[in-house]
Structure 1
Amino acid sequence: MSVNTQVLSSSRLARRVLSSSFVKAATTPHGIDHYLEMIDPLWSQTEIRAEVTDVTRKTSDSVTLTLRPNGNWNGFRAGQFVRLSVEIDGVRRTRCYSPADSEFRRDGRIELTIKVDPNGLVSRHLREHARPGTVVQLSQAQGEFVLPLPHPRRILLISGGSGITPVMSMLRTLCDKAYNGKITFLHYAFTEEDVIYNDELNALKEKYESLRIVRAYTDQPLGGDLSGFFSREHLVKAEPHFAEAEAYVCGPVPLMDSVRALFAEEGLEDQLHLEQFAAPVRTVSSDDAEGEISFSASGTSVANSGRTLLEQAEDAGLTPEYGCRMGICFSCVRRKDTGLTRNVMTGDLCSEGDTNVKICVSVPVGDVSIDL
C-alpha cells in the first residue's frame, strides 16, 4: 500500500470515528470541534480553518495574506471567491475575497490581497492584527466568474484597483497551463504605485509572447500605457480585436458600467463576464418607508426607515452575520416571520411568511417581523 493510500485510509477512518454517535455523546454539549481546536486550532470536523503563514503589503493601501487551509478545503477555480470570517470584539465578521493564486499552486495555499478601506472594519483589522499563526475561517469557494472549458482562443482581462485579484488568478492559471491563445490584460489604477502585482505582471509579460499587459493610470498622466478612464479608444488600443475575445472584468462600479455599456453598444453582451463586489444603489420609495420592523429573536422593534433589513438591524444595535452586503454570498440569510419585503437588486416583492430572505438586499414594505 502506498503512503498516499495509507494517509487517505487513515483520514477516512478518523472521519468515521469523529462522526460516530459515541464521540458525539462524549463531547456533548460543546461538540468535537471544541476539543479538537484545543489540540490544534486548524483541526475541525467540518469547518474550513486556515492559518496565516505570510503577510505582505504590495501597495500602501492593501494587505496580502497567504493562508494554509485545513483538509476540509476543496480548492477553487480561478475567479471564484471565498467568505473569510474573523472575530472582532467578540463578534464574528465575514467578508468576501477572491484568491489571486493559480489553480495549480503546488503548496495548496491561498493568497488573498485585500484593499484596506479606512472605514472598513474587517480590512483594517486584518491589516493591523493578522500575523503568521493567526487562524481565520473560510467558506468553500463560490461564484460563476470562471473561465470556460475549453478556453477561448482570445481572452480579454479588464480590472481596476483591487478587482485585479480574480483576473490575476485567471492569468496565473492560464500561464501555468501553458495556454497558447492570445491574452490581453488591461488594468486601471490611480498611479503606478497603486498597481498590485506590478513586478509580477512585468515578469509575465517578458516570459509569454502571447500576453499583452496594458496599464492605464487615472491620476497619473505620464508613465502608463494609457491615461484616464475606460473608453472605446482605450479598448481599441489595448485589444484591436476585442470583438473576437471573451472578456472578464472586475473592478469599481464606474468601470464595470462603462465596459458593460460599450459591449452592449457593440452587441457583444454574450462575450462579457463580470464580477462586481459593490453594494447595490438603493432607491427608497416613500411607500416602503412606513410601518414597524420587529426583530423577533431579540425583542427589538424600530420604525421602518426604508433602508435594508441588515442596515436597520445594525442601526438598532444588533450584529447579524453578513458577508458581501450585495446579495451574493448568502451569509446574511434570515427567516422572515411575516410581512412584505422588496429585493433591491431585482425589485421583486416577497409576501410569504416563514421564508428565508437575504437581509442585505431586502427592504421592508410596511410592517415586517424578522428572526433577529
Structure 2
Amino acid sequence: MSYLKARISDIRILSPSVKLFEIDLGGQPFTYLPGQWVDLKLQTGAANQNAAFSITSTPNGNNAIEIAVKRAEHLPTSLFIHDQLKVGDDVNISEAQGETVLPENVGQNQPIVFIAGGTGITPFLSMLRQIYAIDRHFHATLLYSVSSVDECLFYDELTEMKNAYEGFEFLLTTTREAAHHADFFGRINSEMLKLIGLDHKAQFYLCGPPQMVDDLAALLADLGVADSHVHYDKWW
C-alpha cells in the first residue's frame, strides 16, 4: 500500500479524552467517500506502527482531512498521537479504505438510522454532513451513546443540524451519569429502538466498540431487521 506524506495543520480538543487532528495533504490528489478511513504510519520508538482512523470531514475540495483520536492508555499509538504530535509535524497516511459508505441511491424513500458509540460517531458525522449538503429534507436518525455529556463529540454541530433540518432526529444516551441534555440513560436497548420508531425499511449503520456493535446487530436481528439493512464498522 502506498502512503502520502502530509502535515498536521491544526489540533483541537473535542472532549477530555479526544482530540481532532486536521491533516493538510499539500495539494496531493486524494479521494474518499464519507464513512471511509485511513491508516496513519507512525514512528513510535524503534519501529513503525499503523493506526486506523475514520475520516470526519467531507470531500469538499480543500485538500485536508480531519480525524478524531481518543486517548487510550493501553494503545501506544493513541498515546503517541496525543502526547507527541504537534502542528507542523509530518505524517504518512494511506489511501482511503472501507466499504461502509452511503448507498448510491441514498435519499430515495429509504431513511437511515445511525447508531454510534463514543468515537464511532466520526464516520457518521462525515455522512450526515454530506447528506444534508445535498438534501435538506432527508430523513435520518442518530442515536448516540456516550459515557457522559462531556464525552459527546460534536454536540453543538449535531444540535444545530437537528434544529436546521426537519428530517433529522438526534438522540443522546449516557451510560455512566444521567444528564438533562440526554434523551435516555443507559446502554442502547430494544426499548430505545422502539421509542425512536423502528422502521424496518430503513438502512441501519452501526459504529462503536466491537461488543457494542455485535450486541446491536443481534438486537436488530431479533427485532426483525434484515441483515441486508445493517451495515457496520468496529474498532479494533
- The TM-score normalised by the length of structure 2 is 0.93
Residue 115 of structure 1 aligns with an amino acid whose one-letter code is K
Instruction: Return the structure number with greater strand share.
Output: 2
**Secondary structure in 2 matching 1:58:** strand
Structure 1: runs of 5+ lacking an equivalent: 1-45, 279-372
Number of corresponding residues: 231
Give per-residue Cα distances to partners, 1:135-171, cap 9 Å, x unaligned: 1001100110101111043011110001111111111
- The CA deviation at 1:121 is 0.8
Mapped to 1, the partners of 2:64 and 2:150 lie a distance apart of 27
1:221 equivalent in alignment to 2:162? no
Counterpart in the other structure of 1:176: 133
For the aligned residues, what is the CA RMSD? 1.5
Structure 2 gap ranges (5+): none
Tell me what 1:338 maps to: none
SS at match of 2:14: coil
The equivalent position to 2:50 in structure 1, one of 82, 89, 94, is 94
Structure-2 change in CA distance of 1:106 and 1:144 (3 Å): same
Indicate conservation of the 8 Å contact 1:80/1:145, yes or no.
yes
Q: CA deviation at 1:106?
A: 3.8
Alignment-derived partner of residue 20 in structure 2: 64
Q: CA deviation at 1:76?
A: 0.7
User: In structure 2, how many angstroms separate the alpha carbons of the residues matched to 1:169 and 1:267?
Assistant: 25
TM-score where L is the length of structure 1: 0.60
Q: Which residue of 2 aligns with 1:276?
A: 234
**Which structure has more RCO (C-alpha within 8 Å, separation ≥ 6)?**
2
Q: SS of the residue aligned with 2:200?
A: helix
Overall identity of the aligned pairs, in %: 25
Say yes or no: does 1:264 pair with 2:218. no
Q: For residue 62 of structure 2, what is the aligned residue in structure 1?
A: 107
CA contact (8 A) 1:167 1:249 kept: no
CA contact (8 A) 2:15 2:151 kept: yes
Aligned letter for 1:256?
V
Mark the CA change 1:261 to 1:244 in structure 2 (over 3 Å): closer, same or farther.
same
Q: 1:116 aligns with which of 71, 90, 96?
A: 71
Residue in 1 that maps onto 2:114: 157
**Aligned match of 1:248:** 205
Mapped pair 1:77 → 2:47? no
1:147 to 88, 91, 102: 102
Identify if the C-alpha distance between structure 1 residues 47 and 251 changes in structure 2 by more than 3 Å, giving closer, same or farther. Answer: closer
> Counterpart of 2:128 in structure 1: which amino acid?
L
The CA deviation string for residues 83-128 of structure 1, in whole angstroms up to 9 with x for no partner, is 111112232111000001123x341210100111012111111111
Partners in 2 of 1:47 and 1:267 — Cα distance? 39
